[in-house]
Amino acid sequence: MVNEIFKSAFIRANVAATSNTTKTSIRFTTQDNGTAKLVFNINKDNLPLPLGSAATAKIFLRMADGSAFEKDATIIDPVNGQVEYILVEEINHPGVVKGEMNVYFSNGQSMTVCQFQFTIEKTLKDRDIVPLADYYVKDFESLKGVVTDQAAEVEQVLINTNEQLERLNEETGANIAVQVDTSKKDTEGVTHVDLPSRLNADFGKVTTQLAEKANQSEIMLDKKSLFLNSDFETLPYIESRSAVYQFTAGVTSPQYKEYKSLKIEAVGYEASQDPNKDFALILTEKILKSEKLKVSFMAYPLISGKTLNIRMAYGSGPSISLGNANQWNKIETVLDLTNITQENNYLYFNLLSSYAFYMSKLNISVENSEGEIEQLPISFMEINERLVENPSVIQNSNGIVERMINIGKTYLDKIAQFVYGNTYTAYDATQQLVGGKFQMDCSSFAHLIIHGIPFENSKYSGNTENKGSNLFFHNIDPYKYRFANQMGKYAFEKGYSFTPKADFSNVQAGDVLFFSWNNFTGNGDLTAEQREQAFMKIDHVAVFLHRKNDSKWATLQLDNGISTVFYDASNEYMSQCVLAARFPYANVESLYRQDNLVIDGDVPTSTTTTSTIGSYKLSEPLKKGRYYTMVVDGQINTNNGYFIIQTRTYQTIYSDLGKILPYQGVTELRFQYPFDEVTDKLNISIGAPGGTPAERSGNVNWCALYEGYVRDKKFYNKGSQTDITKNFSLDPTLVPDLETNYVPYYKYSIDGNKLFVNFSLPFKTLRTGSLVLGNIGNDAPNSTQRIPVNLNGASDVGVNGVLQINSSGVVSIIPYNNTVQWRYALANGSILRV
């Protein structure tokens, strides 16, 4: 008999309701197979717990890999409560082990006597052990039952599968041969020897078609490039700062594969006195200091050993060898831009001496953090294939549009301090004054709107940074995507852009519009040559507000030669919009109450003899600079007539000049109130071309006025006169009869359709019967209404009566008993005016 040797670890277990897990210092190894022994000394109330023959012990172990074991433990000393367990297969699961010891008694009772924790360390020899699969074992008989059941299930599955395969073979076997023969035919009906031969033939045809399309500029097969016209079919726009350079595009000899080449030649380089002997390629987006620019091309030098220098403007770059002469050499470099002093989009080349070489397959791209280059389309055709007319499900809320308008107004208020230019804007390195004024262009203004930056929060106001609002869009970097074409390119690449329909019916207020001029005569972001290289030839950007009428479109923008930021663009102007974008702004409520400010705007008005259709009282005066929406349901019968909105003194606030077709149904007229005049009255008039007689014809069924940018008000909403208190016009003959010592009071107020009355009339004269007090005019109800009134009669006897207000506005006191005398009247209450 061989003596057994164990590594015994002792755990003292105290049975108590408050016992916690015992974290031991026990450490076994994966080579302690059959020798790792746990010995438990179980006490209760500081005495050994007796474990008679009627007790059994089980150990539960949860291994570090998640597997679990529940095994019988051996009671080795029942009297002293000593139990042991020897680890066998558990030893192959290294890591921290959590366990518990449970004792079961024949009377059905059981208890957990302790919870514990120990470690199994992996030995050097066992570092390559693959952990066993997770499993849970209670005892051998249970394991045997599980295995038997699973084996039976697997056997049944195999039987069912064989039966299905036999049926499938019978049903389809006859068709397989036919299908195989069919699969050997290519797209032109030619039958090949086998399927691989057919696939190779089809693949070759597809490759040929793609190459043909690439040559036709229908698609671009190369990676995204930041330089357009890099196929050199035509001469790209190049800014040369020296007369030594000559460029020839469309060269076919030499030609790299199917790509044409650009001949670049420096003549008289050494003798030239030009201060800068280099030329620049204008990239489609600004390159940041934090980025890396990858430049690659094929070079065919005519002289071996020639070098050129490549760098970004305001920085330095490497000198690169063009390789051996009279062969195509691949040139590739990555520019580290941390040394540039100003971020820009000018890539400079300097040949360093007189020689010529051919360039082909030029690719310029920005590497991301993983060194990968995003695949994107370049040509117009591919862009149009990817663009859709359905913008994102995002909607621009009225609240965000109103905030845009208010931000635009802060620059309109300072418009005299600005001149159009794109060198010293809020998004350039410095904000140097030009002629004593700030510079701003269309793209810098658009960025200020998109980022939610009013004048007072911009660099123009002395701030070190432009401080935007969290309600606006900040993902677009205004320094990298500085100009309109770069903004459009960003919107396209990020999925915010869509194709505007010809009638702009898919465009909302707050959407950004990008223009490519085809009848350009002025200045823009770019020179005419640079514009040819820009993304979609975009050179202008604006924010859309709404269609004003048949000829005009309301926009929020800054354009050269425009003295306002609220610009009415013509149809021709809008026809040059090639791209629209909807950025995700916050969905916020309107800045203003949605109350109709017109009192009794539902009273129809018309004219056939003058230009004024009607005058409308407002519940509050217009505020200078506030944006309003007037909704009018009406028609104009005068030829070529259009609505005009004027103040009380007939200053024109809004003119719908440009309206061609007749008004139909509800028309929304939006305007910013520009005057200092305090007006609580609006006149709706008829405008017409010069020579139109003053006798004009038109009508308004109803009208309403709202603060802010309001949409889809198709029905009349009764106006409100919230908290407007008025002095009642008491009959002048009654005023001298009031007892002033009793503080007479006679006022009323209107809130929407409610009229509140508060009268205290202490007359000196004792009166009999009814008394007419006066008239409230247009504030009268639609039908006669009454309010209870308390009357003080002779000898201070109380008398009951009513305060009556009829539809013509007449206000009277009527006692219930017309023969009773009274002197004082008190009325406090409200009526409905409808």
Is the peptide bond between 254 and the residue preceding it cis, with omega within 30 degrees of 0?
Answer: yes
From the CB of residue 527, how many other CB atoms can be counted at a distance below 10 Å? 14
Angle formed by the axes of helices 398-412 and 442-450, nearest 10°: 140
Q: Tokens 């009274």, residue?
A: 822
8 A C-beta contact, residue 252 and residue 259: no
Number of domains in the chain: 5
**Distance from C-alpha of 740 to C-alpha of 804, rounded to nearest angstrom:** 24
Answer positive or negative: Cα dihedral of 553, 558, 562, 563: positive
Residue 354 has pLDDT above 50, yes or no: yes
Reported as a pLDDT band with limits 50, 70 and 90, residue 726 is confident
Determine the Cα–Cα distance for residues 707 and 324; give it in Å rounded to an integer: 73
Name the pairing type of β-strands 55-62 and 110-121: unpaired
Q: Give the pLDDT score at 734.
A: 95
| Inside any domain, residue 201 | no
Q: What are phi and psi of 404, to 5 degrees?
A: -60, -45
- Return the CATH number at 563: 3.90.1720
Q: pLDDT class for 559, splitting at 50, 70, 90?
A: confident
Q: Please tell me the distance from the alpha carbon of residue 127 to that of residue 83, in angstroms, as a whole number.
A: 32
Q: Which residues contact 159 (CB under 8 A, 6 or more apart)?
A: none
Q: Enter the tokens of residue 634.
A: 């009406």
Report pLDDT for 193. Answer: 60
Whether residue 167 is predicted with pLDDT greater than 80 in this model: the reply is no
Q: Do 508 and 465 sit in the same domain of this protein?
A: yes
Query: Could you tell me if 347 and 287 lie in one domain?
Result: yes
In this predicted structure, what is the pLDDT of residue 573? 92
pLDDT level of residue 39 (50, 70, 90 thresholds)? very high
Q: Which of 138, 163, 190 is the last residue of a domain?
A: 138
Residue 29 pLDDT > 80:
yes
CA distance 56 to 70: 13
Distance CA 444, CA 424 (A): 10
Assigned domain for 160 exists? no
Residue 220's pLDDT is 35
Does residue 445 lie within any of the structural domains?
yes
What share of the chain has pLDDT > 90, as a percent? 53
Q: Are residues 337 and 429 in the same domain?
A: no
Q: Which residue carries 């921290």 as its tokens?
A: 96
Contact present, 203 and 185 (Cβ < 8 Å): no
Q: 560-597 pLDDT, tens per residue?
A: 877 889 999 999 999 999 999 999 998 888 898 888 99
**Tens-place pLDDT, residues 298-317:** 999 999 999 999 999 999 99
Query: DSSP code of 656?
Result: -
pLDDT at 381 (0 to 100): 45
Write out pLDDT tens, residues 627-657: 999 999 999 999 999 999 999 999 999 999 9
Average pLDDT over all residues of the chain: 84
- Distance from CA of residue 227 to its chain's centroid? 28
Q: Is residue 369 over pLDDT 70?
A: no
Q: Does residue 826 surpass a pLDDT of 50? A: yes
DSSP-assigned letters across all residues of 619-644 = SS---TT-EEEEEEEEEE-STT-EEE
Residues 644 and 763 in one domain: no
The answer to whether residue 500 scores a pLDDT higher than 80 is: yes
Domain identity same for 417 and 316? no
474 and 534 in a single domain? The answer is yes
**In what helix (H) or strand (E) does residue 445 lie, and over which residues does it extend?**
helix 442-450
Per-residue pLDDT band for 125 (boundaries 50, 70, 90) equals confident
One domain, residues 45 and 87: yes
State mean pLDDT over 800-825.
92
CATH of the domain at 803: 2.60.40.2460
Question: Over 80: is that where the pLDDT of 537 sits?
Answer: yes
Instruction: Decide which of 557 and 105 is more confident.
Output: 557
Most confident of 142-146, 282-286, 628-632, 675-679: 628-632
pLDDT of residue 133: 35
Residue 619 is part of a domain; what is its CATH number? Answer: 2.60.120.260
Q: Cα–chain-centroid distance for residue 97?
A: 51
Lowest mean pLDDT among 516-525, 674-683, 726-735, 793-802: 516-525
Answer yes or no: is 821 within a domain: yes
pLDDT at 555: 96
Please indicate, yes or no, whether residues 333 and 245 belong to a single structural domain of this protein. yes
Residue position matching structure tokens 């489609």:
284
Q: What distance in Å separates the CA atoms of residue 346 and residue 286, rounded to the nearest whole number?
A: 8
Query: Which has the closest alpha carbon to 761: 826, 829, 820, 815?
Result: 826
Longest dimension (CA), the chain: 138
Which range has highest mean pLDDT (30-44, 69-83, 449-463, 741-755)? 449-463
Residue 469 scores a pLDDT above 50: yes
CA–CA distance from 271 to each of 246, 308, 810 (Å)? Answer: 16, 18, 102
Residue 190 has pLDDT above 70, yes or no: no
- Residue 521: its pLDDT value, please? 54
Compute the average pLDDT of residues 106-117: 86
Residue with tokens 């015994």: 8
Q: Which two tokens stand for residue 141?
A: 């008989």
From 331, 361, 386, the end of a domain falls on 386
How high is the pLDDT of residue 444? 95
Look at residue 312 in the predicted model and tell me its pLDDT. 94
Domain housing 639: 605-707
pLDDT value at 520 more than 70: no
For residue 370, being part of any structural domain is answered with yes
Q: Answer yes or no: is pLDDT of 126 > 80.
A: no
- What's 91's domain CATH number? 2.60.40.3350
Residues 262 and 360: beta-carbon distance below 8 Å: yes
Using DSSP bridges, classify how beta strands 22-29 and 110-121 pair: parallel, antiparallel or unpaired: parallel
Domain boundary residue, one of 354, 386, 418: 386
d(CA 601, CA 224): 59
**323-334 pLDDT tens trace:** 999 999 999 999
Q: What's the rounded Cα separation, in Å, for the pair 686 and 692?
A: 11
Q: What is the mean pLDDT of residues 191-197?
A: 59
State whether 511 and 369 are in the same domain: no
What digits encode the pLDDT tens for the residues 370-392?
444 444 444 444 455 445 555 65
Mean pLDDT of 749-758: 83
The reply to whether 379 and 406 lie within a common domain is no
Nearest by Cα to 269 from 296, 246, 253, 299: 246
Arithmetic mean of pLDDT, 457-462 = 94
3-state secondary structure of 297: strand
What average pLDDT does range 828-834 have in this prediction?
A: 84
619 domain residue, yes or no: yes
Residues 277, 251 share a domain: yes
Same domain as 551, residue 675:
no
pLDDT at 523 over 60: no
With respect to residue 551, please indicate whether it lies within any of the assigned structural domains: yes
Distance CA 35, CA 799 (A): 113
Residue 214 lies in a domain: no
Q: DSSP class of residue 427? A: T
Q: How many CB atoms lie within 10 A of CB 427?
A: 24
pTM of the model as a whole: 0.55
pLDDT at 149 over 70: no
Backbone angles phi, psi at 807, to 5 degrees: -65, -15
